[in-house]
Structure 1
Amino acid sequence: MTTTTTYIAFLRAVNVGGRTVRMERLRALFAELGLERVGSYIQTGNVFFTAGATDAAARAALTGRIEQHLAEQLGFPVPVMLRTVDEVQAVLDAEPFAEVEVTPEVRLTLNFLSEPLPADFPLPYTSPKGDYEVLGADPGTAFVVVHLKDGKWVTTGNLFGKSYRGSVTSRFLHTTVKIVAAARKT
C-alpha cells in the first residue's frame, strides 16, 4: 500500500504584478502532473494536494516538476515552497508570535523559504526603519512581524539581505491557519 501525504504548495508571485492566474487553472495544472485531491484556498497561490513523495529527494524532484510545469504553462517562473500539512501545523503549534502584542498596526506573517536563512543572519532582527522584525526562523519558515506605517505596508524588497539567494513567499498567520484547515479536508 502506497502512503500518501497532503502537501501545501505556497506559490510566489501569483496574482501580483499583472501575473493573474485563476485558481481553477492552477488546480488543473497541478492535476495535469498526476497529483490527486487538488484544491486551493483564496487567490494568492495556495494549492494543496496528495502525493506519494515523502523523502527529501522525492520532494525536491516534485517541487522541480511543479515549477517547470507552471513556468511552461504560464510563461513566467513560479517559485514553489512545498510543505506537508503536518509541517505547517507544527509551525502554527509552536506559536512563534505568542509574545507579540497584536494591534491595528501589526501584521503577523509566516515567510516560507526555499532554503534556510544564512547562518550569519542575526536573529532576532529589526529592520533599520523599524517596519519589520524577524523574530526567528526554522529551516523552512521565518516568523516576521510587520509594523504598518500610517496604515500602510511599506516593507518591500529583500527582507533577509543580499546574502539570501532563495525564494520567499509570505502568508498572514490567520490565513495560514485557514489554508491548513482547507488542506485537511482534502
Structure 2
Amino acid sequence: MTAYVGLLRAVNVGGRQIKMDTLKQIAADLGFEKVQTFIASGNLLFISARREPEVKAMIEDALKDIFRAPVEVMVRTAKEMAEVEAANPFADEPGNRVAAIFFDAKADAGQIEAAKNISDERLALGTREIYVHFPSGQGRSKLKLGGKAPGTARNMNTVCKLAELVREMA
C-alpha cells in the first residue's frame, strides 16, 4: 500500500467548484483508503495498492464525469512530497511566498528559460516541480512559465503540511 497526495489543478477557482466532502466520497468510491482532504484547494490524501499512473487516471476519469471537462491531477507519494519539501531552494523565504509548481513529467529547464513577465520572481528547477519565490506575492505576479505541460501550484506552507499528513498515513 502506498500513501499518495493528489493535487487537483484549477478547482475551486473560477467556475470549477467541488466540495471536499464530494472529493473524499469520489476517492472512497474508487476504493482508496484513509481518504482525507486538506483545505478547499483540491488536495486529496489517500492510500492505495495501485500504482501512480493508475490512481491518477482513476481520479481524472471520475472528475471528468462530474465537470464534463478534463481536470488534471498531479500525484505524489509520501516520499516524493518529503523530497519536494526538502529540495526547496528558497527555504529561507516565507512559505507563503514560495510555491512548488507540480507537473506529471520531469520539469524542464526550458520552461524556466521561456518564462515571461518575470519581475522580481526567482525560479529554480526541481525534479517534477519548478520552485518559484514570489517576493511581492503570488497574487500580484504576472509570471507565465514556458511550455505547454499543465501544472498546479501549492505554496510551501501547504506542501509542508501535505508532506506531514501523508507521512503520517504511510
- Residue from 92, 116, 125 that aligns with 2:106: 116
Other-structure match for 2:75: 82
Q: Secondary structure in 2 aligned to 1:147?
A: coil
CA distance in 2, matches of 1:156, 1:76: 26
Alignment correspondent of 2:89: 96
SS in 2 for 1:64: helix
What is the CA-CA distance between 1:137 and the residue it aligns to? Answer: 2.1
Structure 1 unmatched ranges of 5 or more: none
Question: Does the aligned pair in 2 maintain the 1:112–1:142 contact within 8 Å?
Answer: yes
Say if 2:108 and 2:125, in contact at 8 Å, map to a contact too: no
Q: How big is the shift at 1:76?
A: 3.0
State the partner residue of 1:144: 132
- Report how far residue 18 of structure 1 moved: 1.9
Counterparts of 1:1-186 in structure 2, within 5 Å, are 4-53=1-50, 58-98=51-91, 100-102=92-94, 107-118=97-108, 120-122=110-112, 127-138=116-127, 140-148=128-136, 153-156=139-142, 159-161=144-146, 164-186=147-169
- Which has the larger helix fraction? 2
State whether residues 111 and 142 of structure 1, in contact with CA within 8 Å, keep that contact through their aligned partners in structure 2.
yes
Alignment: residue pair count = 169
> Is this contact kept in 2: 1:110–1:170, CA < 8 A?
yes
The CA deviation at 1:155 is 2.6
Output the TM-score relative to the length of structure 1.
Answer: 0.79
User: 1:50 is paired with a residue of what secondary structure?
Assistant: strand
1:15 to partner: Cα distance? 0.4
**CA offsets 1:131-173 (integer angstroms, 9 cap, x no match):** 42212221x111111132xx6723347x321xx2211111110
The AA in structure 2 aligned to 1:183 is V
Rg comparison, structure with higher value: 1
- Could you report, residue by residue, the CA deviation over 1:73-130 in whole angstroms, capped at 9, with x for unpaired residues? 23332100000011110121234214x5559xx811111112233354456x875441
- SS of 2:31's equivalent in the other structure is coil
- State, as a whole percentage, how many aligned pairs show the same letter: 30
Unaligned runs of 5+ in 2: none
* Aligned-residue RMSD, C-alpha: 2.5
CA distance in 2, matches of 1:95, 1:174: 11
Q: Distance in 2 between matches of 1:35 and 1:169?
A: 22
Partner Cα separation in structure 1 for residue 17 and residue 111 of structure 2: 33
Letter in 1 for 2:141: T
Separation of aligned partners in 2, 1:122 and 1:44: 25
Name the SS of the counterpart of 1:68 in structure 2: helix
